[in-house]
Structure formats: C-alpha cells, structure tokens
Amino acid sequence: MGANNNRLSPRQKMINLMYIVLTAMLALNVSSDVLDGFTQVSDGLTRTNETVTDRNEAMYSQLEAFTALNPDKGGMWLDKATQVRAATARMLSLVDSLKMEIVRKADGADADPDNIENREDLEAAAVVMLAPGSKNGERLRFSIDSYREYIGTFIPDSLKRQNIENMLSTASIHRAGTLAPQLWEEAKFDQQPVVAAVTLLTKLQSDILYAEGEALAVLYSQVDAGDVRVNELNAYVMPQSRMVMRGGKYSANIVLAAVDTTARPVVYIGGKPLDNDRGIYEISTASTGTFTYNGYLEVTHGDGTSTRHPFESSYTVIEPMATVSATMMNVLYAGIDNPVGISVPGVAMSDISATMTNGTLTRAGDHWVARPTTVGKEAVVTVTANMDGRSVQMAQTTFRVRKLPDPTPFISYTDANGNVDHYRGGKPFSKSILLKATGLEAAIDDGLLDTRFKVLSFETVFFDSMGNAIPEVSDGANFSQRQRQSFQRLQRGKRFYISRVKAIGPDGITRDLSPMEVIIN
C-alpha cells in the first residue's frame, strides 16, 4: 500500500511536466528581455562612439590645420597627437577583432556583430577570451593596462587622470559569495551571453575613445600654453658640447628665453658684442683645460628702455679620443654580422682604422661590421687614427661575445592576398593552408637581429579518441608523409603539438626550441 500511495497518476505526471515547461518558458521570457536590453545598450554605445570619434577627429584636424600654418609651434604637439591616435587605433582594432571572434564562435563564419543570432550563447565568450591556448582575455588586459598608463602621461589633471584610470581599470573583482577575487577577464567573460560580452567590449571602446579625447584636448591646449604663461626672462647658454677636443672648436648658443624673433637681444661677451644676431659664440681651442666666460644680453623694450640679463658658462678642452659602440645591445653575437659604429671626433673616417680579436672587423662605407667566432671569449676592438702623419691609438674597447638567442619556430604560408605570413601557434589555423605548407621554419625576426635558422628535425603529437598521444617524426624540416596523413584526419577545433624542435643557427650551435600548439580552424 505504501508503494502505491507514492505513485503518480498519468494526470499528475502531465501537470508536473506542464509546470516544468511553464517555468522554463518564463525563464526564457526573462532572458529574452534581458538580451533585448543588452542589444539596445550596445546600439546606443555604438552611436555614442561614432559621435565621440567625430569629435576627436575634429580636434585632431584643428591641430593639423594649426600646424600647417605654424609648423614650429604645433609640430611637436601634432606628433604626440598622432602617436595617441595610433595607440587608440590599435586598441580599437584589437577589441573589434575579439568581438568578431566571439560572434563567429556563436554564429559561425558568416557572423555579424551588429546582428547576433545566438545572443544567449554562454560558451562563446569564455572559449575565445579564457581558453588556455589563446589567452585573449589576458592579452586584452595587458593591452588596456599599457594604454591606460600611456594615456595617463598626457593628463596633468589628477582628477581627470584618476577618472580615466577608473574607467580603464582591470583590477581583479571580488564577487559576493566568493572567497577569492577573480581576474578581470574571468569576471567579465565567464558564463556571459554573447550579446553581453559584445556590449562590454563596445563599452570598453567608448572608454578608450573618451580617454583619447581627453589626451587630444590637453595636447591642443598646449599649443598656446607658452604664450600665456611666460612671466620671466632668463639668459641661457646652450653649448653644443662642453667637451672639446684639442684643435677643434667650441660652439654655443646664447639665447634669452621667450625671445621675440622680431627684436632679438644683443649679446655682449667681455664687453664686446657678438658679430652675429643669432647668439652663436665660437672660439678656437689650442690647449686643454677648463675655460670660463661671461657676459650679458641687452634687451630693448617697446618704450625705448633696455634691460641687461647676465650669464656665465664654461667649457672643457680634452685630448683626442675615440668612441666604439655596438649598435645591437652593446654585445656581439657569434656567427653573424654585427654593425659597429666607430668614430673619432675631428678625424675624417678615411684616417681611422680598427682591428678586433676573436673574429674579423671590416669596413662597410662609413660603418663597420664585426663578426666574432668564439662564444664566451671576449672580443677587443682597437681603434687608431692618422694624426698629422702618425698613427695614434685612440681607444680600446672590450665586448662580450654571446650565442644567438633561441629562434621562434613557425609555419610559413601565403594568405588570401598573396602575402607570405608566419603561423606561430596558439590560435586557429586553416586546415587547407596547413595541408599546403611544406614544413617548419625558425628565425629570430624581432626587427633587430633578423636571423634565420635551419630546422633539423621535429615531432608532431596527436591525440586519439582515448586521449593517447601519438607522436610522428618529421622528414628533416619538412612534414613527413605520416604527419600529412594525420593532418587529413583532423577535424575543426582539434589541435596537435609540434615539439622536440631542433634547429641550428649561423653560430653553429644546435638548440632545442619551444613547442607550439596548432589549432585547426
């Protein structure tokens, strides 16, 4: 009897099922209203961003127009404004690309951020922003931090600067009911519907544009700042150098701060006026030592009166010397050509010669190329100059010889525009492009060394449905037949790893390179 009392009749089961369905429908209705609200907010932010962009563009155009009329006065501020706009453009482009990735993750390749179909998708934002392989959220946080600090350097007003810092803050967030604070990207993008994530990124773009506008306003206001703040006249001596080689010339500009170019002051030294109206003082040097000189500037005012502004300066005459500098980080790398600058003040380049231990040093026009041989052994550069028909040693400089840094492995491919690009892993890669690639390459292409390495061998590691690792060995620097067969079987979203990469550089040293993750798109 007890068992029979606990059984539900078909009618009661139907009522319970209808209740569950009704509850789900109510939840969906609330969710739909919230999603519609996010869409409206996003549309409003987009319109606001367009207005702020137009305002910033107008401010920049005004600064451009002023600089065209007065390059000396506006050029410096226009250059800084251009740098601010470039930094802002990079940030906006990064955010746009992340929005597109999130929407594509939810709606597919034909996704449109302005018309999201799967607005309620709770996984797309987390996959794009928080996946361990991509770390897009962490990259965005670092970019915001860098941009915030950069823009802050242009905002002298502490309240405005604090306002921008608060708007672009990426501090960890402590949610109610949690013990530890969450990272900024986790709090913003974990379990968030697509429309909410896109709205948040649009709001971030709005804050970035506002910060750009504040910086541009400050730069534009600086154009005439000097005109209204000058309240004192001072004499200044600006020598080209306080150190002069014997036999050379000492040269200095003696000027009055905030001087009017239509009424230049007259410069007197030792009671005698200079023979030019530009305040340039030159004197030949014949002996070494420190020499002091003084004088005054005489300024005539509009009412006919004049004032004198005294000055005093000194210069030092030294014996001839040479300078030797490596143009690449003050060290020399074995096995490659290292550009080296060698000069002797007052001596023609044709009269300078140099030698080096632990390698070769050759002249290339007005520059030098050092090519050391042994890593860990110092290279000593000795400079001599032809002075009055005799060879004089000018300097001797010691450099440390290091091996080249490890290169970065990559897969070379040609994009849709016919440009050669490099895939270094960590983001989706087209399977069709992968199948066309020949193999793996490696290089240091940081814009400084730009050195290619020869890949000797590598392995690819695939995982079967049971999670077992299946390694395949390459054919030298090229993909082997077995590796290509494994590529054919890969499906979208799958990934494999390229590891145990061995490469040799021009320094003759074989090294093991870091592995890379390949994600199939």
Please report which confidence band the pLDDT of residue 28 belongs to, taking 50, 70 and 90 as the band edges: very low
189 and 53 within one domain: yes
Tokens 């030092």 found at: 316
Which residues neighbour 501 within 8 Å (Cβ) at sequence distance 6 or greater?
A: 409, 440, 442, 455, 457, 458, 512, 513, 514, 515
The pLDDT of residue 12 is 53
**Residues 506/335, Cβ–Cβ less than 8 Å:** yes
82 and 185 within one domain: yes
Task: Between 8 and 374, name the one with better pLDDT.
Answer: 374
In this structure, is residue 6 part of a structural domain?
Answer: no
In this structure, is residue 9 part of a structural domain?
Answer: no
Torsion (CA) 203, 206, 211, 215 in degrees, nearest 10:
170
The pLDDT of residue 23 is 42
Tokens 């009424």 found at: 263
Torsion (CA) 459, 464, 467, 471 in degrees, nearest 10:
-20
The pLDDT of residue 446 is 72
The pLDDT of residue 497 is 96
Closest CA to 268 of 301, 312, 213, 227: 312
Which range has highest mean pLDDT (228-232, 297-301, 351-355)? 351-355
The pLDDT of residue 17 is 61
Tokens 């998708």 found at: 121
The 10 Å Cβ neighbour count of residue 467 is 6
Contacts of 96-100 with CB under 8 Å at 24 or more apart are 96/205, 98/128, 98/129, 98/136, 98/140, 98/201, 99/198, 99/201, 99/202
Domain boundaries, position 455: 408-520
The 10 Å Cβ neighbour count of residue 278 is 11
What does the alpha-carbon distance between residue 54 and residue 486 come to, in Å, rounded to a whole number? 52
Which of 285, 318, 351 is at the close of a domain? 318
pLDDT tens digits for range 427-477 = 999 999 999 999 999 999 876 778 999 999 999 999 988 889 999 999 999
The pLDDT of residue 232 is 59
515, pLDDT greater than 80: yes
In this structure, is residue 464 part of a structural domain?
Answer: yes
85 and 102 within one domain: yes
The pLDDT of residue 252 is 79
CB burial of 60-97 (b: ≥16 within 10 Å; e: otherwise) equals: beebeebbeeeeeebeebbebbeebbebbeebbebbee
26, pLDDT greater than 50: no
Total residues belonging to the chain:
521
Tell me how many degrees the CA angle 464-470-472 measures, rounded to the nearest 5.
135
The pLDDT of residue 149 is 94
The pLDDT of residue 518 is 95
Distance linking the first and last C-alpha atoms of the chain: 61
Mean pLDDT of 161-182: 84
**Residues 442/457, Cβ–Cβ less than 8 Å:** no
CA atoms lying within 13 Å on the CB side of residue 244:
25
441 and 386 within one domain: no
Q: What are the backbone dihedrals phi and psi of residue 161, each rounded to the nearest 5 degrees, phi first?
A: -65, -40
202 and 137 within one domain: yes
Note the pTM of the prediction, 2 decimals: 0.41
What does the alpha-carbon distance between residue 310 and residue 299 come to, in Å, rounded to a whole number? 11
Which of 174, 206, 226 is at the close of a domain? 226
1, pLDDT greater than 70: no
Please report which confidence band the pLDDT of residue 180 belongs to, taking 50, 70 and 90 as the band edges: confident
123 and 258 within one domain: no
Q: What are the backbone dihedrals phi and psi of residue 387, each rounded to the nearest 5 degrees, phi first?
A: -115, 110
313 and 453 within one domain: no
In this structure, is residue 118 part of a structural domain?
Answer: yes
72 and 36 within one domain: yes
Task: Between 316 and 124, name the one with better pLDDT.
Answer: 124
Which residues neighbour 166 within 8 Å (Cβ) at sequence distance 6 or greater?
A: none
Task: Between 328 and 304, name the one with better pLDDT.
Answer: 304
Please report which confidence band the pLDDT of residue 344 belongs to, taking 50, 70 and 90 as the band edges: confident
Closest CA to 434 of 475, 379, 485, 389: 485
Mean pLDDT of 178-198: 84
269 and 173 within one domain: no
The pLDDT of residue 19 is 43
Q: What are the backbone dihedrals phi and psi of residue 419, each rounded to the nearest 5 degrees, phi first?
A: -95, 140
What does the alpha-carbon distance between residue 66 and residue 62 come to, in Å, rounded to a whole number? 6
Closest CA to 399 of 327, 476, 470: 327
**Residues 220/62, Cβ–Cβ less than 8 Å:** yes
Q: Report the CATH number that the domain containing residue 311 is assigned in CATH.
A: 2.60.40.10
193 and 90 within one domain: yes
184 and 48 within one domain: yes
What does the alpha-carbon distance between residue 407 and residue 386 come to, in Å, rounded to a whole number? 42
In this structure, is residue 17 part of a structural domain?
Answer: no
307 and 330 within one domain: no
What does the alpha-carbon distance between residue 471 and residue 460 come to, in Å, rounded to a whole number? 6
The pLDDT of residue 408 is 93
| % of the chain exceeding 70 in pLDDT | 82
Domains in the chain, number? 4
The pLDDT of residue 29 is 41
Which of 372, 402, 432 is at the close of a domain? 402
In this structure, is residue 207 part of a structural domain?
Answer: yes
Mean pLDDT of 491-506: 93
